[in-house]
Amino acid sequence: MEQETVLSLLQQAGERYISGEAMSQKLGITRAAVWKQISRLRDKGYGIEASTRLGYRLTMQPEPLERERILSFLGDHPWKENVTVLDSVDSTNNYLKLLGNQGAADGTVAMSDEQTGGRGRQGKSFASPKGVGLYYSLLLRPDCAPAEVSHMTAMVAVAVCDAIEATAGVRPGIKWTNDIILNGKKLAGILTEMSVEWESGTLQYLVTGIGINCNHKRSDFPPEVQSMATSLALELGHPVDRCRLAAELTKALYGVSREIVSGKQAWLERYRQACITIGRQVQVIRGDSRRSGLATGIDENGGLIVRYDTGETGVVYSGEVSVRGLCGYV
């Protein structure tokens, strides 16, 4: 009750400051108790500015991820009836794979306000706290062989950059293969999975999952990644509209879906232009093995071309690649 009243007083004050003393008198509690409620509101995503002489001012309120607002940004989009918005789920990829096995249509979209089991490549966890990120998955049923979608993550990475630029006015770069980077830190990640019929080798569907750090505070990230991760709000100094970003991402991914095979080379060229790994010293990590070299390009299937320190050249399609000067590799 005290927390709700503190929030109400801040909302009533609008852009004006209200002192801790004034709130303590209205509530009949100590100023320390007011501070405790302010701290809890911040933990829920409210932006509250504090001034020693003036008091407190509400600067941001968490925007709910609402289906109707997303659809209003989408307009008359072919996928608008296929959009599901969840309050919480273990993983949007898991959710769509379940629907895929039940016959969900091409262009089915699921997003959630929170993931309790978000994950990235190689089973790594992806922190997905409630109310601050965009956790989004898309199911597609392309009529082609599995080998013909090996570049899917590269296309999606470019689409994610397009959507972020359209929403926030900044254009991130791409760290091979699936990390979206802004100012040297990880802003988003991508995980693409597919279902293939074992006997015939037929591609049944693929699901691509995207996690974007939108309005995270530094404390929203696990301690072990706080120095390597960032959010749009941290970089811009203000929150972004997650509903608009969700709509822009849907529009960009629709373009990908129409050109998975026919537009492969054009999308890969855009990926090359955005890939900040090219021209950098890298370490290629596979299990306990580490090899150093220079990343020189992206091949026609999205693989990273590396000229190793030994003088030989190879193409990397799997494993981890650390880039000198980025995300902890110095």
pLDDT in tens, 184-239: 999 999 999 999 998 889 999 999 999 999 999 888 899 999 999 999 999 998 88
Residue 123: predicted pLDDT: 58
When pLDDT is cut at 50, 70 and 90, the band that residue 330 belongs to is very low
Asked if pLDDT for residue 327 goes beyond 70, the answer is no
- Residue 328 pLDDT: 62
Q: What is the DSSP string of 188-223?
A: EEEEEEEEE-TTT--EEEEEEEEEEE-S--GGGS-G
DSSP string, 153-198: HHHHHHHHHHHHHHHHS---EEETTTEEEETTEEEEEEEEEEEE-T
pLDDT score recorded for residue 321: 82
259-302 tens-digit pLDDT: 999 999 999 999 999 999 999 999 988 888 889 999 999 999 89
pLDDT, tens only, 64-91: 899 999 999 999 999 999 999 999 999 9
Domains in the chain, CATH or no CATH each: 2-60 (1.10.10.10), 67-274 (3.30.930.10), 281-323 (2.30.30.100)
pLDDT of 318 above 80: no
Positive or negative: CA dihedral 252, 232, 113, 4: negative
The model's confidence at residue 40, banded by pLDDT at 50, 70 and 90, is confident
DSSP 87: S
pLDDT at 244 over 60: yes
Which of 43-52, 55-64, 232-241, 249-258 is the most confident on average?
A: 249-258
User: How confident is the model over 101-154, as pLDDT tens digits?
Assistant: 999 999 999 999 999 987 666 556 677 888 899 999 999 999 999 999 999 999
Residue with tokens 């940004």: 73
CB 122 within 8 A of CB 320: yes
